[in-house]
Amino acid sequence: MPDEQELDDATLVSHTRDGKVAAYAELIVRYERMALSVALRYCNNYTNAEDAVQEAFLKAFQNIDQLRDTTRFSSWFLRITERESIRLQTKKCELDSIDETSISAANIAKTVPAGDTLDDDLEQLVQWIGQLPKHEKNMIMLHHLEGLTARQISARTGQPIGTITKQLSRAMKRLQGWAK
């Protein structure tokens, strides 16, 4: 039997459908650089592009049986990469849109019942939240001010629940440290 590197895409797709993981590994090797190039057109940084490519390879593997023309794997896969890059970038932009203006005493005051006022401690907390790293600040905003659960934040941002809970935990520890 010929080496996987010598086989054409259609044969590799067929082998992948038959459960031969090495065949899909060869497709990854063949298209990883091209997919990264496509992803970089849509993503604002290399890390996001790598994430999009990884998701695209996973989706392509999970849906390989839906590919009708096995000779067109490359174009099919690159379309998946394009869609994943756009999806990921959209999620990142939604999260990035939570900016410093949303963490202000005035915006937090809107959540305080009528007749009550912000005290000095809450003003200090607002300042500390503003000093958190952006990713932690976003998690605090989504969880504590918008009232979203980790699962809801995951659905909104596309990040794993474990990442969200870790960022929330780190943010809370940082805020508690500043409060001492």
Residue 149: give its domain's CATH number.
Answer: 1.10.10.10
Residue 79 phi/psi, 5-degree rounding, is -65, -40
Q: Give the C-alpha distances (Å, rounded to integers) separating 75 from 10, 31, 79.
A: 12, 10, 6
pLDDT tens across 85-144, in order? 888 877 765 555 554 445 544 455 555 555 555 567 777 887 888 888 888 888 888 888
Residue 32 has pLDDT above 80, yes or no: yes
Residue 81 resides in a domain: yes
Domain count for the chain: 2
Is there a contact between 16 and 27 (Cβ–Cβ < 8 Å)?
yes
Q: Is residue 164 part of a domain?
A: yes
CA–CA dist 48, 89 (Å, integer): 8
125: in domain: yes
Domain stop point among 72, 90, 108:
90
Average pLDDT in the chain: 82
pTM score of the predicted model: 0.53
Residue 1 confidence (pLDDT) above 60 = no
Please give the pLDDT value at position 96: 56
Cα–Cα distance for residue pair 146/155, rounded to 1 Å: 14
Tens digits of residue pLDDT in 9-28: 999 999 999 999 999 999 99
- Do 10 and 43 sit in the same domain of this protein? yes
The range of the structural domain enclosing residue 126 comes to: 100-179
> Would you say residue 80 has pLDDT above 70?
yes
